[in-house]
Amino acid sequence: MAKICVVLATYNGEKYLSKMLESLMVQTRPADLIVAVDDGSKDSSVQILEEFRNRLPLQISVSPENQGHRAAFSKALELATPQLADEDFIALADQDDIWLPHKLQELEQALISAPQSLVFGDAQIIDGQGNVTAESWRKFSLIQEQVSIEQQIAGINNVTGCLCLFRAALLNKIMPIPQGVTVHDRWIAMLAQKNGGVKAIDKAVVQYRIHGENAVGGAATPPMSKTLETQILWAETLIENATSLNLTENEIEFGRHLVRLSRKRLESGLAIGELPWIYKNRRNLFLPGSFLQTLKRVLFTAVGLPLARKLWGKN
């Protein structure tokens, strides 16, 4: 029987970590292995992990200093790899969510019966006190069940890491996760899409906690300058790894053009000449919206940081 390995990254997560680990204990299809990497916590996160060591198939690795969530998940996957066969499965876990009891069972059954390399479910949204604030994370965030590689290059990701299960056979493609990858689950989703495909199921499998201190999902919108710099880093990293990602020439050119546009926006007030390209690629650059919403997005994407700073106080 195939094994399921859960990889978990923790960092100063004492407030919610126990609830997360308790939800792993009541899975109708229990995990066979849980690899936890603590990313230099200064609170009691490691102590909490130790308290669960005899209650879960838990392996704990502690980093001496904080490296960031990409590095922590990369380390956890590195530790898990020699313990898994190609037919096994991997689930990604965040420290502050609550897994619904049927999560692993639902995702495993969906993946066994599908040809795809990765499946992902939906989630309820809960607040810091555990109250349900929305029944569907997918509807709340306008997440599409399928996205193109160009959309992925533009930063539109439909696979939230804690909602997915993927085949361990992907590890030889995923690892090592490049330094320039801004979010690990985007990298994994792209490789799954290029190597077998991605499938969405409609059922909620997690209570996804948004509490204002999330490392990724639910985090505050970064400054415009940071957004553009992150976009450049992400697209350049994908282009540098075009061979391992099996990107087509059209996908590579889309990424290169997006980098050029983002650099122009950092340095100049307007990029009027880019409007035809932006409009042509609007479905790859933006989430679905009304005609008016899309038009506003198209026009704003031609506005550079110097002008946005003057007009709206962007930084």
11 near 40, Cβ under 8 Å?
yes
Supply the pTM of this predicted model. 0.93
Residues pairing with 33 in the sheet: 5
Nearby residues of 171 by Cβ (< 8 Å), 6 or more positions away: 77, 80, 81, 84, 90
pLDDT tens across the length of the chain (315 residues): 899 999 999 999 999 999 999 999 999 999 999 999 999 999 999 999 999 999 999 999 999 898 898 999 999 999 999 999 999 999 999 999 999 999 999 999 999 999 999 999 999 999 999 999 999 999 999 999 999 999 999 999 999 999 999 999 999 999 999 999 989 999 999 999 999 999 999 999 999 999 755 455 555 678 999 999 999 999 999 999 999 999 999 999 999 999 999 999 999 999 999 999 999 999 999 999 999 999 999 999 999 999 899 989 999
C-alpha distances in angstroms, 305 versus 266, 278, 294, 313?
5, 17, 20, 10
Rounded to an integer, what distance in angstroms lies between the CA atom of residue 264 and that of residue 267? 5
